[in-house]
Amino acid sequence: MQALSSVVGFCNASTHNSEAPNLQNRMCSLQSTWDVMMRSSDFSSTPLPSGMDSPPAPTFSLLQIKDRVVCLVLDVSGSMKQFDRIGRQRQAAELFLLQIIESGSYVGIVSFSQEVTVVAKIRQISSEDEREELAQQLPAEAKGGTDICKGIGAGFKEIGLKIKSTPGSEIILLTDGEDPKLHECLTEVKASGAIVHTIALGPNADSQLETFSRTTGGLMFSSKDNFTSTELIDAFSGLSSGNGNTSQQAIQMESISFTLHDVDCRKGAVSFDSTVGKNTFFVVTWQNHVPLIKVYDPYQKEYPQTNFSINSTIKTARLKIPGIAKPGDWIYSLCNTESPIEIIGLTVTTHPANDSNPPIIVKVHMNDDSNTFPNPMIVYADVSQGYSPVLGVNVTAIIEPQTGEPVILSLEDNGAGADIARNDGIYSKYFISFSGNGRYSLKVRVQGKEKMATLGFRRQINHALYIPGYVENGNIQMNPPRPSINDDIETTLEKFSRTTSGGSFAVSEVPTGPLPDKFPPCAIFDLEARLENGKIELSWTAPGDDLDQGRATSYQIRMSGNPVHLMANFNTATSIDVSSFIPKVAGSLETIIFALEELALQNEGRPDPRGLRMFPTCPPLGSSKLHYSYGTELKNGQVGEWVLGWEQQGKETCGSKS
């Protein structure tokens, strides 16, 4: 931090100020920096150096952006015939080649079974014709066994023939099978310097496949054998460039599939805002017969089925909107006119409308790519435009296990539960509904309503902390006043929609049958208090019975004159009766008002809890924010310093306390 002397050590239990109202105490239960660091994996898994050891010499790497070099390494073994995997692979890879991969990139295709075939040598994409030519060469036949390492080796060879070296290049590896020799090529993959993205198709894809992604920094995806799932197309849609240049990156607006009976129709809308619209595609897929397709722009201009390019072989219909797609709701109508039952999918992609106005983007991930029960997981969705967070939008996570129904979660940016900071544009939620062992895929849908979504200003380009003053030669020197910033200014956004894949993750040690109740209520981090007119007002966001989901059973509120003592001896601290208070559903605003009546100091100098009673009414949801205060003014003019703590209870164990 600027204006401070050099750091010579970290606060420990004896030097830490546990009463400071800072983020360290709020998030780390009043613990010191050193206590937290000593429990981290960096310290626990690394032997401490002796006092005489010098730190290792630093290494520097000079990197620069270059054109993408990508080789698709696609499985064509005999098992790819099952569940039309080879056809679905063609659908998804075609979308990647025609709509996702950036112009100027170098792309090639290698197929593998027991042997490898160079389907298309690596070439630079500079026209639509080259995209079409590559898409037409996608493999269509499946036979033979599976040798994943041969496929990867052939991909590296093709890259090397074109650009002489593999560092920074990318392999997109898709397979549905196992390879007992997979570990043999891991060393080659590490040494290549290439990035390997993996797509596991079906339930029998090698369990070690993701090792390639973890080792090289690649993305990992999975797709089950379910024709109503869009996981495979979502995986290829999520493989846009990660170089930070959003002007050329494809943006997925919609990804949905549904089952229609004979003569049934499905209508819906995709909301375009003015930051996107270039190179917009509507892509429809089906299982048996071409559906009846219509698309309408926001001004009711119709794009009938005759405007679509239909490929009956791989069962896709593609519409490219000329120019820039107009902002507003684009309406689609899809009807099943020939089959007793039909599974229809719709994917909509676009690009930024211009280079000067950054688009609204969504970045999605889990807190980890692997997990063991009963550890909870957290879903994160970062919604932003440029450096500014996007606030006030509906964010829904769809998590699909290998077996069972998808889990739908509504993510929140309220600073409670799994969400650390309120209104930072990062929406979060705990995921605890594990249905079994294996891979899970994640997709997030974001819907911004007109005049509801706004831009925040918490993320500023200048991250320097304002220092009001400093000490020089024992004297306090004041800096100029902090420049004023109007935090009330809000930029209202247009209506918009986004759909983004968050890849896949794996879960193990999930018991069979109903899951045991292992998850207590989540910690409360946003307790606020205010003393006004002889009353103490407390407010916080309600936890759930299971972390941030459901409804807690009851609350305990205790008080003490020392926060550290309260943390260490919560169960023996002075209790305040709130037994009549019924907790609300998780995420709701909880408010309690206490009246101070004839308080008298006890011998220890604390207020007598018998002088506290819970006020029977609560302020409306729109009441002003409550601010924490340690000083409590008594009626006789004395001040007794005290602290309120809280604990929420679930079905079997107490939750976090502070």
Please provide the average confidence, as pLDDT, over all residues in the chain: 86
What pLDDT was estimated at residue 648?
52
Round to whole Å and give the CA distance between 6 and 8.
6
pLDDT digits (tens, 9 = 90+) for 211-240: 999 999 999 999 999 888 999 999 999 999
Looking at residues 103-118, what average pLDDT do you find? 96
pLDDT in tens, 368-404: 999 999 999 999 999 999 989 999 999 999 999 998 8
Question: What span, in angstroms and rounded, lies between the C-alpha atoms of 286 and 490?
Answer: 43
What band does 630 get if pLDDT is binned at 50, 70 and 90? very low
| CA–CA distance, 404 with 229 (Å, rounded to integer) | 12
Model confidence, pTM: 0.85
Partners of 320 in the beta sheet?
A: 281
Residue partners of 186: CB distance under 8 A and separation at least 6 = 211, 212, 215
Judging by beta carbons within 10 Å of its beta carbon (0-12, 13-18, 19+), is residue 622 exposed, middle or buried?
A: exposed
For the chain, list the domains and their CATH numbers. 1-33 (no CATH), 65-245 (3.40.50.410), 360-461+489-508 (2.60.40.1930), 528-657 (no CATH)
Question: What was the pLDDT predicted at 321?
Answer: 97
Above 80 in pLDDT, residue 44? Answer: no
Mean pLDDT along residues 599-609: 38
Mean pLDDT, rounded, for 480-495: 74
Instruction: List the beta bridge partners of residue 555.
Output: 648
